[in-house]
A and B are shown apart, each in its own frame.
Chain A
């Protein structure tokens, strides 16, 4: 067996693993979210299917798969079919560059614990998160429904707006790490994570990712009580499921990104690195859920106002200040 073949095999195994972990993770994240929200509201949440409701994700999946796949009469069918997949796939692809552990040695081979350690990982991540916009914009457009269209347009505007702040908040990270590779960024955070070194960038990134994932308090594109269900109003069955899963995968991706960029990735004492990594991701996910249970939805103008007039200026200033400091330090 040639090295190349083994490399390919390893990549496939990693891919499979990541795929399985991500999908089950997303599914159980749904359950976790519902349980946590339940507790915040002093109820139990789903606890009927299996012990502690553990089988709930399975039941949901079965339900979604068996539901009627409904297509509106005047919908733009090809786009309507593609949009949910686009949303889920872009979310999944981002994981290709996430390193969740230092390379390990397996049968004498050093195996990097990342599908593909791109040297421009940050740019890859930013590019994919821009592509995610297409999923909802096209889904909203293709439904031929006023609610979906409005949701799609809102999503478009929101995602593009917050991408700027997100990108700008990553510039200090790259400056500090001196690399676009995510592995390098993680390694650069030993022993002090960037969250402590540059809390402003961390907060801006946290808020922007929350907005990117369209979660409360930034769920303007869905906004049930204004737009029924926003861009996925007309979707049902597994197509809706793809949107739904995409959102939770997205949440995990963004959690991983926060971990990688600001929380020091797998780095931590005592426990094996991979456990650290997942613990940090879960902590971020919990923060997102907690936020959802606490904050009310922003108004559309407040959202835009906050993004353009506050986050972007703050992150710009932060870039300049960080750059100046680094110059002075290295100076």
Chain B
């Protein structure tokens, strides 16, 4: 005990107020918790009471389309690289117009943790999170969604964006046909 007091003195000096503060600090929380016990709980009683999530709520993932109705996803693998639980897999391919797209695209929702890193990584705004959260099942295979299940007929957030119109490699527009580009250089001419 004597040493306890010594320690106390070393720590707080001779100020008796400190002891008072400590005692108060020990007892006061009991009052706080007791007071809270008589307040109304803030819990939503979920299945009976439903809450409308905010538009940026992160739940079921979709693949969106550009304004022309083309698939936005270019299968760049950035979402699968960003995914911390490795629930996204795909195979990229090239169509006859030179457009890169996902030959297949799969999200295993039974693994997904809805962290939103895929949507954040997506450079073409293809992969987006929706607020649809009532999403569960008993068969893991039914939670494995393929591209057909994921694609929606809408642009989602930032509806107007079309990656290929900005890419600068002449897939949607002819080469050099974007508004921020000069036409292709004629390398056989030295004329300015």
Contacts and interface: CB of A to CB of B under 8 A. Distances in A.
Interface stretch (A41-49, A57-65, A124-132, A240-248): A41-49
Contacts of B33: 40, 290, 293-294
A43 B1 contact: no
Interface in A136-182: none
Task: Count chain A CB atoms within 10 A of each CB in B26, B34, B39, B43 and give the residue with the most.
Answer: B43
Interface of B: 1-4, 7, 26, 29-30, 32-34, 36-43, 45
Contacts of A310: 1, 4
Given A294-B29, A295-B29, A40 B36 contact: yes
B4 A309 contact: yes
17 contacts: A41-B36, A42-B36, A42-B39, A42-B40, A42-B41, A42-B42, A43-B43, A294-B30, A294-B32, A294-B33, A295-B26, A309-B1, A309-B3, A309-B4, A310-B1, A310-B4, A313-B4
B42 A317 contact: no
A36 to B, nearest CB: 7
Given A39-B36, A39-B37, A295-B29, A44 B43 contact: yes
A153 B106 CA distance: 49
Task: Count chain B CB atoms within 10 A of each CB in A293, A313, A317 and give the residue with the most.
Answer: A293
A40 B37 contact: yes
Contacts of A293: 33
A72 interface: no
B112 to A, nearest CB: 26
Q: Is chain B's interface secondary structure helix, strand, loop, or mixed overall?
A: helix
Contact of B41 (A38, A291, A317): A38
B136 to A, nearest CB: 17
A313 B1 CA distance: 6
A104 B123 CA distance: 82
Contacts of A43: 41-43
Contacts of B7: 309
Contacts of A317: 1
A207 to B, nearest CB: 11
Contacts of A227: none
Q: Is chain A's interface secondary structure helix, strand, loop, or mixed overall?
A: helix
Contacts of B38: 39
Q: Which 9 residue pairs spanning A and B have beta carbons closest together? A: A313-B1, A294-B33, A43-B43, A39-B37, A294-B29, A40-B33, A309-B4, A43-B41, A310-B4
A314 interface: yes
Interface residues of A, number: 19
A317 B41 CA distance: 46
A100 B99 CA distance: 84
Contacts of B2: 313
Contacts of B4: 305, 309-310, 313
Contacts of B40: 42
Contacts of A40: 33, 36-37
A310 B4 CA distance: 6
Interface in A1-48: 36, 38-44
Nearest to A311: B1
Nearest to B43: A43
A306 to B, nearest CB: 9
A294 B27 CA distance: 10
A116 to B, nearest CB: 37
A36 B32 CA distance: 14
Given A43-B43, A295-B29, A290 B34 contact: yes
Task: Count chain B CB atoms within 10 A of each CB in A38, A40, A313 and give the residue with the most.
Answer: A40
Interface string A277-301: 0000000000000110111000000
A295 B25 CA distance: 10
Contacts of B39: 42
Contact of B1 (A294, A295, A314): A314
A44 B44 CA distance: 10
A42 B33 CA distance: 10
A290 B36 CA distance: 11
A36 B41 contact: no
Given A294-B29, A294-B33, 13 more contacts: A39-B36, A39-B38, A39-B41, A40-B33, A41-B36, A42-B42, A42-B43, A43-B41, A43-B42, A290-B30, A313-B1, A313-B2, A313-B4
